[in-house]
Structure 1
Amino acid sequence: MSEMTISAVSSSGTYSFSKPNRASVTLVAGLGVEGDVHAGATVQHRFRMAQDPAQPNLRQVHLLHEELFDEVRAAGFEVAAGQLGENVTTRGVDLLGLPTGTRLHLGDEAVVEVTGLRNPCAQIDRFRKGLLKQVVGRGADGAARFRSGVMSVVLTGGVVRPGDAVRVELPDGPHTPLALV
């Protein structure tokens, strides 16, 4: 099994699609990434706020597997860490294969709980035309396969840096596959 690490961390204080890479980010329990526009106990995504601003924020921290960049590069798309709006870019972690409720230990202190799959939007095509089709594929059964990372909530805060280890803690009991959040 390959080493599971964080390859980049990113945040943005404004509603921008891409997020600049940082030397570190601080995760805050119950809120998300300190200083990031999507941090908050209630939903911070503009479209979802318009629907119901009081709903809980299940999208505090967006994690994306760096391996996706290798896959889309083969189709002619150059994408780098932070450019798809993720906060934490991982290497060696099968994020999309994790069940709901998985806890990811990031670095020495921080712990996030995976809430579901990121629902990719049309902004991906505005960033790179045709890229949305690369991150939303079809499985052999014809069902959509969302590959643009997972969303999580912060259980335990802490500083997270590139090079930090990732440890996966699967939930007890039957595992529920990830759904869109």
Structure 2
Amino acid sequence: MDGTVVAVSSNDVYSFTKPNRDSIRLLAGLGVEGDVHAGVTVKHRSRVAQDPTQPNLRQVHLMHEELFAEVGEAGFEVVPGALGENITTHGIDLIALPVGTLLRIGEAAVVEVTGLRNPCLQIDNHQDGLLKQVVGRDEAGNIVRKAGIMSVVREGGTVRPGDTITVELPAEPHRPLERV
């Protein structure tokens, strides 16, 4: 179950969207070099307000390009980086991966999946009504979050569009992703 990097994005200031780059460099234990969310402790503003000493489980945000086509059918236009992800992927069902999955990206980078992105109201500020497209409910009434996954950097390296992503599942039993 391999995939491909479609785009890479980062920003050194807080903004909802992140501009696409030719490459990004992942730093072990920190995140994306030069990105506002990089660090050992949490950088997301709402989480910093709660407890700035929390470990940063959201160092690298990955989102599947397939979501863009899905929301496009409902009339929304989303492009890589628009929803704040660092790595846009193709060919991997990111949301179905278990906690602890390793993603080997390009020649050297390795990230460990920590959980689901919990989309916030800023998505509706980007495009009104988009939040309902990326957060819904399944047949049983459970909340389904589709706005990508979060990870931490285990091994650093440069990531570029076109790089291969290899999935290594953790030992069973697998734990489903929860919001982080």
User: TM-score surpassing 0.5?
Assistant: yes
Residue 156, structure 1, aligned to residue 144, structure 2: no
1:94 match: 93
Aligned-pair CA distance for 1:36: 0.1
2:129 match: 130
TM-score, normalised by the number of residues in structure 1: 0.98
| Equivalent AA in structure 2 for residue 83 of structure 1 | A
1:58 match: 57
1:26 match: 25
Q: Structure 1 unaligned runs (5+)?
A: none
* Post-superposition CA distance 1:23-81 (Å, at most 9, x none): 00000000000000000000000110011000100000000000000000000000000
Cα distance in structure 2, aligned partners of 1:138 and 1:174: 25
* Post-superposition CA distance 1:94-129 (Å, at most 9, x none): 100000000000101000000000000000000000
Of all paired residues, the percent bearing the same amino acid is 66
Aligned-pair CA distance for 1:173: 2.5
Cα distance in structure 2, aligned partners of 1:42 and 1:118: 17
Aligned-pair CA distance for 1:137: 1.3
1:115 match: 114
Cα distance in structure 2, aligned partners of 1:108 and 1:117: 25
Query: What stretches of structure 1 move > 3 A for 4+ residues in a row?
Result: none
1:75 match: 74
Aligned-pair CA distance for 1:132: 0.0
| Equivalent AA in structure 2 for residue 116 of structure 1 | G
Aligned-pair CA distance for 1:4: 1.0
How many residue pairs get aligned? The number is 180
1:179 match: 178
3-state SS of 1:132 partner:
helix
2:16 match: 17
